[in-house]
Amino acid sequence: MTDRTTAVTAPGQQRAGAPALDRRLVPPMVIGSVLNPINSTVIAVALVPIGAALGASPAQTAWLVSALYLATALGQPVVGRLIDLFGPRRLFLVGTGLVGVAGVVGTLAPDLGTLIAARVVLGFGTCAGYPAAMALLRAESRRTGQDSPAGVLTLLAVANQTVAVVGPLLGGLLTGLGGWRATFALNVPLSVLALTLGALRLPRTPPQERSATGPGPLRRIDLPGMALFAALLLSLLLFLMHPHPDRWYLPLLTLAAAVAFTARERRAEQPFIDVKVLGGNAPLLATYARALAAYVVAYAFLYGFAQWTEEGFGLSPLQAGLVQAPTFLVGIGVSVLAGRRGGIRATLLVGAAGQIAACLLMLALGVHSPLWVLLVLAVLFGVPQGANGLALQNSVYLQSDPARTGSSAGLLRTFAYLGSMVASAATAAAYGPHAGTAGMHQLAWIMLGAAVLFLLLTAFDRALRTLRAPAAAARA
């Protein structure tokens, strides 16, 4: 177990003889950041078998998707802020431990309610991995005196794409060999691996002492702000999951919580989210808006299209996973190419074009379409899968306050999960009790609208014209 601490230098300052990035940190960073996406993709092809085993409709099993992202959307910025205050190691270990607990509960779950509870725990457990990785990269940049994270941002994106390739295939394989419970049991060895790597390799962060001019770290935890933020998100997400006129009170609660949260954060000495700074950072806000639109499309395809290939097109869970594999294989290649070129705006425009083309093709599909057309669709969706994730991640790294890297990265994931919640609600509304072709086409229209919005947000954002990925900036 290492006792190494992270030294601090001014950002961008190159120290003589400064060491390179500590490569021992890369394995725990990667495994921690992929815990959430692997659980997203593994369960995608297990939803239909779970519904059949527990007598649940697609609208009911959609809660397994919603529960994970509800918990993660709430937890990501909170855990990210705690990482900013206390360092990544402790939060990483607690989070990955919860992943193992969720795996055991899900494996033994007797009913859908217990499964949903396990997914909630899993959502909170996977909160720490990504903001911890981003915070570690920022700390290593200060320690080495180098602005560029030496390609690790690209590695994280490629790792997520690789996991996304394996996820649907692994989900179908596990479901075929051991039933849907095996998709939950998978989290136990993953948790053990992450805990071991984290305990052995992540640096201990020296405790922050109270200074003469400010409070200590415990006093800097804005509990009222966190509670109001949770109320805001919870009421919003509950409405998005089941938008209906008889739930009119939820948008009102969201509005009231938003007003109270903004007022609280503007007055707080140590705000959970500095709304004054964030409100003045229009480029970062635009990045979050793009993330919301992009992930509406991505998650609607991941879950909605997968359900149609099984129920509407008649594929098995393993076959459905194989159909989606080209998406993530192409995504890996696009991520690698985009990481080398470094142009964030160009990468986002390529992703926007890929989304629109894929949604248009999706509108042309039917039960009599040849299988190769489904594979072409999967290839098309691979372009935005690889381009958007990397470009959005690099944007946040460059546009955020260095002192709030963890919480800024957490907010990126929160907006992504808001997109997933919109996608989940749209999928449930479009399909109802059966994932048929008509419902799939309704879903495709919603996805197309989000894709066009993403294009507009990118094309008219002037701040993107001069933004370059860290690795590319270092080469320039």
Retrieve residue 224's tokens.
Answer: 């009222």
Please give the pLDDT value at position 470.
58
- 120 in Cβ contact with 71 (< 8 Å): yes
DSSP H helical ranges for 268-370: 275-279, 282-299, 306-307, 317-341, 344-363
Token pair for residue 459? 């094309």
Interior angle at CA 88, CA 86 and CA 89, nearest 5: 100
Q: How many CB atoms lie within 10 A of CB 328?
A: 26
139 touches 204 (CB < 8 A): no
| 3-class secondary structure, 183 | helix
Q: DSSP letters along 145-186, please?
A: T-SS-TTHHHHHHHHHHHHHHHHHHHHHHHHHHH-TTHHHHT
Bridge partners of 211, per DSSP, are 214
392 closest CA partner among 275, 242, 287: 287
Return the number of other C-beta atoms located less than 10 Å from residue 45's C-beta. 35
In this prediction, residue 440 carries a pLDDT of 92
- The token pair at 72 is 């993660």
Per residue of the chain (476 residues), give pLDDT as tens. 444 444 433 334 444 455 667 778 888 988 998 898 889 878 877 888 999 898 888 778 878 987 887 788 788 888 888 888 888 898 999 999 999 999 999 999 999 999 999 999 999 999 888 888 888 888 777 776 666 554 777 788 778 777 766 777 788 889 888 999 999 999 999 999 999 999 998 888 654 543 444 555 566 677 888 889 889 988 887 787 677 788 899 999 999 999 999 999 888 877 877 787 777 788 999 999 999 999 999 989 988 888 899 888 888 877 887 888 888 789 888 888 887 776 889 999 999 999 999 999 999 998 889 999 999 999 999 999 889 988 998 898 888 887 777 778 888 888 887 888 788 788 888 887 778 899 999 999 999 999 999 999 999 998 888 777 655 544 44
Comparing CA positions, the residue from 74, 63, 72 lying closest to residue 37 is 72
Per-residue model confidence (pLDDT) at position 316: 83
Amino acid at 303: Y
Among 369, 380, 405, smallest CA distance to 76 is for 405
Of 334, 432, 314, 323, which is closest to residue 58 (Cα–Cα)? 432
CATH class of 23-205+272-475: mainly alpha
Sign of CA dihedral 249, 253, 259, 262: negative
> pTM for this structure?
0.75
Residue 388: which of 331, 437, 432 has the closest Cα? 331
Residue 32 CA to residue 93 CA, distance in Å, equals 10
The pLDDT of residue 18 is: 54
211 by DSSP, 3-state: which?
strand
Please give the pLDDT value at position 150: 46
Of 410, 406, 382, 199, nearest to 301 by C-alpha is: 382
pLDDT at 217: 58
What pLDDT was estimated at residue 7?
A: 40
Question: What is the DSSP-derived secondary structure letter of residue 20?
Answer: P
Write the CA distances from 208 to 86, 94, 135, 217, 398, integer angstroms: 7, 20, 16, 6, 26
Do residues 470 and 155 make contact, with C-beta atoms less than 8 angstroms apart? no
Q: Going by C-beta distance under 8 Å and a sequence separation of 6 or more, which residues neighbour residue 256?
A: none
Burial class (CB in 10 A: 0-12, 13-18, 19+), 471: buried
Domain boundaries, the chain: 23-205+272-475, 223-271
pLDDT of residue 445: 96
Dihedrals phi, psi of 228, to nearest 5 degrees: -65, -40
Q: What is the pLDDT of residue 430?
A: 87
Instruction: Give me 21's structure tokens.
Output: 């990035």
Please report the pLDDT score of residue 11 as a whole number.
Answer: 38
In this structure, the chain runs to a length of 476
Taking the CA of residue 76 as centre, how many other CA atoms within 13 Å lie in the half-sphere pointing to its CB? 26
Task: Give the model's pLDDT for residue 215.
Answer: 53
